[in-house]
Structure 1
């Protein structure tokens, strides 16, 4: 096993964990000892997967902070940094809008909520009422002004303690810019300290990532042993719409984008990204996958480290193609369930709200649900209606997180392709020697 590439071992762990979990679920359905299976899940499989996630999350904040500062100082020029940032912002808005449009087209064509049995709808609402109320109690405010104001932390230390990654990243960007503008012996010493922190975190990340195949196996066993392979239930057509829209964006839109604007073969892109995509699917956390995403970007895809660190670190909290697609599609599905036919202008409003909401969505499991609750309120639908889809959200969350991470890596490829002004360190080659666009 140790002679195999890490992404191959991750795939093996994914398949073995899923198969073993499905077998355990089948065994309990045939009269096997469900207590023994649940005991193994509660004492071995789930804690093992959770411990791995906690290790990753422990590294995320120092990794984001140090990688952003070092990336900005390695770019070394404020004008170049501005061009990279503007390109990234433009790509995020355009490609996220395409993702939402794909979701809206699929849901409008298939219309899984039209004629949805009111008895089933009310039953789903009743079954998940407590969880739905907990989600609506934490719903954010979808205001562009408030999001901008929220970027600037009153207290960076408190923002870090609260897990406000966007505010922490803004503070790191400001420090990086100041280091570029103020090259003194003291600031050079601070930069060396941050560089040292990044190297230590990367080393810890290297050690933790070696556990990925076992953690993925444990996480997939936990999921399939508890819910089986048939976890879609009465919402199968809706879930199919989500999966279809994600597949179209992930395997049609993004490969075309990477090929035409990034100058990279889609086969090379997916082969190099496989490890991060599988981990994202298993953990349903974009931020938790960030250490692995950075590793595959630099080592497998051979992207310039300063560009990869800047784009992927920000992208983990602000570039969520899958989340935006899911929010728009789910909003229309719930509206269909209540017999509400949204006009074109209302659907365009949903697109705008989804773009804003996806930027502020936490890169953690189920982070998009509070945003959907807010959008439902704007459409005069009950926010608690989010309870309709909670039964299948765990699996769909895994799917959309995979798209989020794939979109981050695709963005890094395209930004790297068009960032000729950023010097490459030795040992890293440009994605392509000629511009495709």
Structure 2
């Protein structure tokens, strides 16, 4: 059944590309199918994240263990984000996507830059003044904050919090069942999302910026094959083939929807059912990753920063490139809960090294294509983190058990 779903999504993806290229803009008639799938996905995100994260936090039963889990998860996300943007800068310097281009920027393409929020404002905005309003608005960082504290409260109550824990546990189970129902519609939804995109853009808009698309695609491929493969093999003790095969449905959905949060229900389903990641790990690591982990976006920032610099004939020094790495790594968390996060991150990076903000408009025509590529890597990174953290937790437990046995023997 699982393999059939992967095959169905893949076939829908191929058919969408072929029909989109043949029919052209007229294929937009099937877009309501994609919009319906997106609405179905979005409709389950908030209750799924809230219930699964509450259960994930409360099920640890140990505040110290929860703290260690948080440090490992965020540490892994920051490290792989820094590696991703370094790969992006390297690929950008090798491909030189911005050299020799002459792309006029029309008034319609002008992108208004938005001021990035300060560190203090970003931290304050994580704390909801009204948790119910956060749930209604779908503010993921505030929902995560609320869910974590609910889980902590249940843990501190011990046996007295069993009824509340049971409610969220059953709610999570219900949401997993609904996710399974929604996933049956995935092949039709993927077709409805991909075909109009291919039909609208075609080759005419892709050719001038083909080097940017290729540079990002190759950079993302390298990051996925090298960084994620090594991570899951070395720390998660899992075959990279098993890993990529297990998250294949999530990869196709991520590419189609261009949304890490929108793909979250599928990512959770794939990691738990296909990769056998314990629910207490997946329900904590994945919702957090869908919000703050942006490996693909960080890589995109590296490529785009060099693209803009090359287009305007600006040479970035080594110090400026290090600044790009640091800024993008911090921005991946700092702008997580802000609308148009990708645009704000690009604005922050370009401002930090003095690049013209007009360069953002150059990428506007193909941003949808770039977004599909970078989101796919973001989702892969979330799943890889779940495997790595799960493997690390298991190693720690084995080490503790050995020490206990040694103490008893002594």
* Stretch of structure 1 that moved more, 379-388 or 164-173: 379-388
CA offset at residue 229 of structure 1?
A: 5.4
Q: Contact 1:319–1:407 (CA<8 Å) still a contact in 2? A: yes
Q: What residue is the counterpart of 2:152 in the other structure? A: 177
Between Structure 1 and Structure 2, how many residues are aligned?
398
Q: What residue is the counterpart of 2:36 in the other structure? A: 51
Q: Contact 1:276–1:296 (CA<8 Å) still a contact in 2? A: yes
CA offset at residue 410 of structure 1?
A: 0.6
Q: 2:134 aligns with which of 159, 164, 174?
A: 159
* Stretch of structure 1 that moved more, 231-240 or 79-88: 231-240
CA offset at residue 383 of structure 1?
A: 2.5
| Mapped pair 1:88 → 2:97 | no
Q: Contact 1:262–1:414 (CA<8 Å) still a contact in 2? A: yes
1:364 and 1:301 mapped to 2: Cα distance? 31
- Report 1:6-405 matches (<5 A): 6-25=5-24, 38=26, 41-42=28-29, 45-117=30-102, 120=103, 123-124=104-105, 126-129=107-110, 132-133=111-112, 136-137=113-114, 139-141=115-117, 143-185=118-160, 187-228=161-202, 231-362=205-336, 367-405=341-379
What SS is found at the alignment partner of 2:301? helix
Q: Could you give the per-residue CA deviations for residues 78-128 of structure 1, whole angstroms, max 9, x where no partner exists?
A: 1111111111111111111111110011112222223433xx2xx135451
What stretches of structure 1 of length at least 5 have no aligned partner? 26-36, 424-437
What SS is found at the alignment partner of 1:345? helix
TM-score, normalised to structure 2, is: 0.91
What SS is found at the alignment partner of 2:282? helix
Q: What residue is the counterpart of 2:408 in the other structure? A: none
CA offset at residue 7 of structure 1?
A: 1.2
What SS is found at the alignment partner of 1:341? coil
Q: Could you give the per-residue CA deviations for residues 287-335 of structure 1, whole angstroms, max 9, x where no partner exists?
A: 0000000000000011111101110111000111001111222122112
Q: Contact 2:58–2:152 (CA<8 Å) still a contact in 1? A: yes
Measured on the aligned residues, the alpha-carbon RMSD in Å equals 2.3
What SS is found at the alignment partner of 1:301? coil
The 1:166/1:329 distance shift into structure 2, 3 A limit, reads same
Q: Contact 1:125–1:388 (CA<8 Å) still a contact in 2? A: no
What SS is found at the alignment partner of 1:113? coil
CA offset at residue 150 of structure 1?
A: 2.3
TM-score, normalised to structure 1, is: 0.86
2:206 and 2:33 mapped to 1: Cα distance? 26
Q: What residue is the counterpart of 2:400 in the other structure? A: none
CA offset at residue 364 of structure 1?
A: 10
What SS is found at the alignment partner of 1:262? coil
1:327 and 1:127 mapped to 2: Cα distance? 23
CA offset at residue 228 of structure 1?
A: 2.6
Q: Contact 2:232–2:239 (CA<8 Å) still a contact in 1? A: yes
Q: Contact 2:140–2:337 (CA<8 Å) still a contact in 1? A: no
1:365 and 1:195 mapped to 2: Cα distance? 31
1:365 and 1:264 mapped to 2: Cα distance? 36
2:286 and 2:370 mapped to 1: Cα distance? 23
